Amino acid sequence: MQEVLTAGRYFRKHFNCNVYKTPISILGFTCPNIDGSKARGGCVFCENESFSPNLGIQKPKGFLLNHTSVENPFIASQLVQLESQFNQTKKILAKKFKAKKFLVYFQSFTNTYAPFKTLKALYDKALSFEDTIGISIGTRADSIEKEILEYLSEKAKTKEIWIEYGIQSVYNETLEKINRAETIEDIEKQIKLTRKYGIKVCAHLIFGLPGETQEMMLESVKKAIELGVESIKIHPLYVVKKTALANDFKKKQFTPISEEEYIDTLVKTIKLIPKEMMVQRITAGISDDSLLSPFWCNNKHRQMYNIKEALKKEGYEY
Ligand code: SF4
């Protein structure tokens, strides 16, 4: 049986213990694909509340950051919020799993879309937390500036520094359909640049995007491999209420991927992935009533069981 390099295996190998990601959602952050600087409305599937519904975020009225924000009157509250979210999750993980080491994960919105001073303050704070081995930052390829890459590059000499870029698909026609407002050429350029700075990259891909065949999904996987990213995250496209995709679904203009096709594509993906590439996530779903379709995405445990069984049949242990 060949072991897939899961996040658990990767971190145990490098830190001799389990390392747990602590998701963070900071008030005042948005996305250039939402605030109009690139596009409005966001990606068709994006309903940001669903990223972290339990974090109780209070959005500051009328205040949202971007790269050109000069003042950030919320920085003190943002730092408090960061620390309190981290401590809360750390406590739960310590109690449940006896967790000892953590990676702070800036998850919601575009986490580098703010002035350098704000980002530096937040990242410095996260890296100062006891038992933290590093940070992982979810962002868009068009929203990260040279100054922040230089800063993260310095930190990467002693800490685990990851940037998670949404690729989603390598087909510009698909990126257009999902209102991504960026091209694969720009994403590729940014991933190459980030890796030159010695920062580890995790690529996000989605299977089941509008109009995509299995061959197209596997082409996206091949491109991520070719770019040399250190890790990959994959999930099926599922439809959440209050999104543009929900409207398309209701009008029968979008049909979600079936579980069979998803698993088959995933098994083919795992066969392509080099042994040293970390596979951080192989599915996702949502178990509350915000999920419109497909219903096989409403139970993560069942999804994982079915995927693991299919992988086992092909000689892979996830
Ligand atoms: S880039 Fe991310 S945060 Fe922005 S609209 Fe798309 S999914 Fe949402």
User: How far apart are the CA of 179 and the centre of ligand 1, in A?
Assistant: 9
Identify which of 23-27, 40-44, 228-232 has the greatest average pLDDT. Answer: 228-232
pLDDT given for residue 259 in this prediction: 98
Picking from 173, 203, 181, the residue whose alpha carbon sits closest to that of residue 34 is: 181
Task: Confirm if 126 and 135 have CB atoms less than 8 A apart.
Answer: yes
pLDDT at 210: 97
- Pick from 33, 65, 168, 204 the residue to mutate for probing ligand 1's pocket: most ligand atoms within 8 Å of its CB: 33
What pLDDT score was predicted for residue 51?
A: 45
Predicted confidence at residue 48, as pLDDT, reads 58
Residues 271 and 212 sit within 8 Å (Cβ to Cβ): no
Whether 174 has a pLDDT exceeding 90, the answer reads yes
The domain made up of 2-317 has a fold known as Transcription Regulator spoIIAA (3.30.750)
3-class SS shares of the chain: helix, strand, coil, % to 5: 45, 20, 40
| pLDDT tens, residue by residue, 115-136 | 999 999 999 999 999 999 999 9
Write out residues with Cβ below 6 Å of ligand 1: 31, 33-34, 42-43, 46, 48, 109-110, 140, 166
Q: State residue 32's pLDDT score.
A: 94
**Confidence class for position 70, pLDDT limits 50, 70, 90:** confident
Which ligand 1 atom is nearest residue 45's CA?
A: 7
Both tokens assigned to 302: 């069942």
Residue 264: CB atoms within 10 Å: 13
| Distance from residue 181's CA to the centre of ligand 1 (Å) | 10
Report pLDDT digits (tens) over 291-304: 999 999 999 999 99
What's the gap in Å between 33 CA and the centre of ligand 1? 6
The preferred substitution site among 38, 110, 143 for testing ligand 1, maximizing ligand atoms within 8 Å of CB, is 110
Average pLDDT over residues 221-233: 98
Average pLDDT, the chain: 94
Which sequence spans correspond to the domains of the chain? Answer: 2-317
Measured from the CA of 138, which atom of ligand 1 is nearest? 2
Q: At what angle do helices 146-155 and 116-128 cross, to 10 degrees?
A: 20
Confidence of residue 47 (pLDDT cuts 50, 70, 90): confident
Q: Indicate the burial class of 1 (C-beta count within 10 angstroms; 0-12, 13-18, 19 or more).
A: exposed
pLDDT for residue 41 is more than 90: no
Query: What pLDDT band is residue 69 in, cutting at 50, 70 and 90?
Result: confident
Closest residue (by CA) to atom 3 of ligand 1?
A: 109
Q: What is the mean pLDDT of residues 166-186?
A: 97
More confident residue, 289 or 69: 289
**Does pTM top 0.85 for this prediction?**
yes
Alpha helices, DSSP H, located in the chain:
7-15, 75-97, 116-128, 146-155, 172-177, 184-196, 214-226, 244-250, 259-272, 300-313
Question: Which atom, in ligand 1's list, is nearest to the CA of 42?
Answer: 5
For residue 236, give the nearest of 266, 215, 213, 216 by alpha carbon.
266
Q: How far is the CA of 281 from the centre of ligand 1 (A)?
A: 18
Two tokens, residue 230: 């250190």
Q: Tell how many helices (H) and how many strands (E) occur in the chain.
A: 10, 11
